[in-house]
Structure formats: C-alpha cells, structure tokens
C-alpha cells in the first residue's frame, strides 16, 4: 500500500491528489472528519494545519489501520510506550499531547535542595509515572516517523528532514504547560555560505535561556554527537551541524555519561560494516551570554537512516529489511527496564497483521535472554521469526517474503 485514500464529503481522494488540499480546507475546523479507506468501513481521521493541511490519525486509533497503511501504528504494548500512556503521555484531544517529565524547565539561581520533610503533612500525592529525557527523545522520533521505514523513504532522510519533522512533532506537544517547540532546538543543516544567518537564528531561538526573576530557563538540544574535547574548565561537546557552538559540561559529569552510555560510544568503533549515529538529547542552560552548558543528557543509537536501535545486534536485521525494500516499524524502549520483551522490528507488508521479528543476541545476559525467549514463546512457533546471532540470519518465510521490484 503506497498511497492512502480518504473519504471526504462523499468523495474518494488520494493522498497525492492535487485536489486534496482544497477538500481538507472545506472540512478543517468543522465536525466532519475524513476517513482513511485502508480497511473496510474506513478509519476516522482529523485535519491539522502546519504549512499546509495534513490528515492525521485520531488518538489510540493507529492499530485499527491496515499494517501497510502509512497511518498504522502498533499497539502501545509492543513497545515501552505502553508503560507511559495514560500517566506520562496524555492525548485527550486530536493534535494535542501532554507529557509529564521528570526534569524541570527552570532552575532557581542559588537555591539549594530542601532537606527533610515539613513538620505537618496536609496531604500525600499519589506517585505518577514520568518520562525521562530518553523517553521524550524516543517519543519525538516515533511521533516524527523516524522509527518506521518504507521503500519510498530511501535517499530522502537527512539533517534537514530530521529537523523539519522533529519540530513539527514538537508543535503538538505540551511539557509542564510549555509548548515543546518553544524549548526544542535541532540544528539546521550546516552550510558554509549560510553559517552566519543560521547562527543568528540559533541565538534568537536560544534567547529563551536568558535568566529572569532569579530563575534560569532550560531548553533541549537534539543532534548527532560528533566529539568531546577536554579544556582547562571541563569538556566541550560538539554536535554535528553546530561547529561554532559547543555545549559545555564538567569533566566529571561527562565521564559519568561515557560510563553509562559506553555501549553506544563503542558502537561507533564496532566492526559491523553498518554505519551508526549517536544522537544526543541535552537539557541545557545559559552559563552566561551565548554560552550553553549541559544540565542533563541522554543518548540514543540509530542506524544511518536515523532509525533508533537498541544496539549493534539489531543493525544487520534493520539494514537487511531496508535492502530488501521492506516496510517495517521499530518498537522503541522508552523507559522500560529492558527492550528484550519487545519485537526488534514489526514487518508491515506481510498481510493483515504485523509480523514480529526477534533477534536473540549471543551477548544477552541471562535475564534479558529469558525475557526474549518468553516473548517468542508467547507468539508461538507458527508466528515467530527468530534470528539467533551466533547463527546465520534465516531467510524470511515464504508467507512473509516480498517480491522485489524487477
């Protein structure tokens, strides 16, 4: 299924029809909703407006679409998102998502952390799940569509595309009452001829970090990690497409990040034959004018096409699916303790139901291996595709094989 068709006011219009924009304009801000015709009876959608009108899926409706439909979304239990929906991820109406996170948008200058508890407690709040910076990064990449792949995407992903869709996804997200788009910076593609103009736009965007009323605002930078450099005051962290604006961090803090995320840094040197990217999400503040300091950070591994992965053991599967022109989605971990229980990929072009693909790495620890084996056993021998990495990757079964274009 390469193109969607919509039922709009009694007409059937394709997603690539030149008349689609006019038809969407007639139903925008009206009670009438388009229906995606990927399944009998159709699935209700809604109309959003960015630079042009866009048809989007209704909340909690993604799994009701056909797996081959661009609007299909797996059941949330197939990824770490399932643990967060309803508590940390609240989508009460189309086009508006509220995220509850475990980090602040503001630091109070000079105020220490309060110690002890008050003498008298008036009430006790019920603990609610909150998203970490990593989970927010996963949510943005999934919302922007970078955890899914179709053959039409080949050769079309780059820094400009990444920036465009991450920022568009952020426009619909609220965090602590603040639109995420106001606090998210994704570097523009670097161009020597336009670097001065791009730098000025970055300074204008990050002007939100100026202290106000004794408080220091925070913002998020998401970009591809390039290198770290030791200085007499700490470390400079370089992000690709930001060659003139390093992020600063204390040496001890960066050393801890290197320990925690050691497998990701090592992946860049792994003998896989598959290029990888290390994506940094940094919560930053202004140390002084135009000097940006990392307050907190998380990292994520992706393949060359910016598809998030858990480790290098997934690269051969993901890159084989791409090479064979398959359509698939990559379930993300979010804040789950382990990703082992989730499929390593879901094949979307194999019929009326997605096909889970599982990778059992020879380097898994015992607990993760048991979790993975349980997930495979629940599918059953008939539905499971399993690759144990100490063995050769098995071919896809005939019923899930896709004839390659001639």
* pLDDT surpasses 80 at 399: no
Between 63 and 140, name the one with better pLDDT: 140
Q: How do residues 354-367 score in pLDDT, each as one tens digit?
A: 899 999 999 999 99
Per-residue confidence (pLDDT) for residue 103, from 0 to 100: 95
Q: Which of 98-112, 279-293, 342-356 has the highest mean pLDDT?
A: 279-293
Q: Residues 15, 34: contact at Cβ < 8 Å?
A: no
Whole-model pTM: value is 0.88
* pLDDT surpasses 90 at 93: no
Of 42-51, 111-120, 225-234, 317-326, give the lowest mean pLDDT range: 111-120
Per-residue confidence (pLDDT) for residue 381, from 0 to 100: 62
* pLDDT surpasses 60 at 112: no
* pLDDT surpasses 50 at 113: no
Domains of the chain are 5-73 (no CATH), 80-91+98-108+129-308 (no CATH), 311-400 (3.40.1350)
- Degrees to nearest 5, angle at CA 305 with 300 and 310: 35
Per-residue confidence (pLDDT) for residue 118, from 0 to 100: 44
Residue that is written with structure tokens 């039922």 in the block: 7
- Alpha-carbon 315 to chain mean position: 17
Q: Residues 172, 362: contact at Cβ < 8 Å?
A: no
Average pLDDT over residues 186-209: 96
Q: How do residues 275-284 score in pLDDT, each as one tens digit?
A: 999 999 999 9
Distances (CA, A) of 75 to 4, 100, 378, 394: 21, 21, 16, 26
* Mean per-residue pLDDT of the chain: 89
* pLDDT surpasses 90 at 320: yes
Q: Residues 76, 62: contact at Cβ < 8 Å?
A: no
Q: How do residues 11-55 score in pLDDT, each as one tens digit?
A: 898 888 888 998 899 888 888 889 999 889 899 988 988 778 888
Percent pLDDT > 70 in the chain is 92
Per-residue confidence (pLDDT) for residue 226, from 0 to 100: 97
Paired residues of 277 in beta bridges: 302
Per-residue confidence (pLDDT) for residue 335, from 0 to 100: 96
Per-residue confidence (pLDDT) for residue 124, from 0 to 100: 57
Per-residue confidence (pLDDT) for residue 156, from 0 to 100: 95
Per-residue confidence (pLDDT) for residue 2, from 0 to 100: 56
Average pLDDT over residues 212-224: 95
């Amino acid at each position: 299924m390469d193109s969607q068709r919509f039922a709009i006011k009694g007409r059937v219009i394709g997603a690539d029809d030149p008349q689609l924009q006019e038809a969407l304009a007639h139903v925008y801000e009206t009670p009438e909703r388009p229906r995606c015709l990927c399944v009998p009876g159709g699935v209700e959608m809604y109309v959003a407006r960015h630079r042009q009108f866009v048809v989007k899926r209704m909340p909690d409706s993604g799994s009701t679409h056909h797996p081959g439909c661009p609007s299909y979304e797996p059941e949330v239990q197939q990824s770490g998102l399932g643990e967060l929906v309803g508590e940390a991820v609240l989508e009460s109406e189309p086009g508006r998502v509220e995220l509850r996170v475990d980090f602040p948008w503001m630091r109070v200058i000079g105020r220490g952390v309060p110690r002890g508890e008050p003498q008298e407690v008036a009430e006790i709040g019920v603990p609610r799940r909150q998203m970490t910076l990593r989970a927010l990064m996963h949510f943005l990449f999934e919302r922007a569509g970078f955890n899914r792949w179709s053959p039409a995407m080949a050769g079309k992903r780059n820094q400009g595309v990444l920036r465009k869709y991450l920022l568009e996804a952020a426009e619909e997200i609220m965090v602590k009452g603040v639109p995420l788009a106001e606090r998210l910076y994704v570097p523009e593609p670097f161009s020597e001829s336009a670097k001065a103009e791009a730098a000025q736009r970055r300074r204008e965007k990050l002007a939100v970090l100026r202290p106000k009323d004794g408080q220091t605002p925070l913002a998020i930078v998401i970009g591809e990690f390039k290198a770290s450099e030791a200085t007499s005051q700490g470390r400079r962290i370089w992000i690709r497409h930001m060659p003139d604006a390093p992020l600063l961090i204390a040496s001890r803090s960066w050393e801890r990040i290197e320990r925690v995320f050691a497998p990701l840094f090592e992946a860049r040197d792994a003998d896989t034959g598959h290029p990888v990217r290390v994506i940094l999400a940094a919560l930053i503040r202004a140390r002084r004018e135009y000097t940006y300091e990392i307050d907190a950070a998380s990292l994520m591994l992706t393949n060359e096409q910016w598809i998030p992965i858990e480790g290098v053991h997934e690269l051969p599967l993901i890159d084989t699916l791409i090479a064979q022109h398959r359509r698939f989605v990559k379930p993300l971990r979010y804040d789950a303790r382990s990703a082992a229980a989730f499929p390593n990929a879901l094949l979307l072009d194999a019929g009326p139901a997605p096909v889970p693909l599982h990778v059992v790495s020879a380097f898994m620890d015992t607990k993760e291996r048991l979790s993975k084996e349980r997930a495979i056993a629940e599918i059953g021998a008939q539905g499971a595709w399993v690759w144990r990495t100490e063995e050769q990757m098995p071919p896809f079964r005939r019923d899930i094989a896709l004839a390659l274009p001639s």
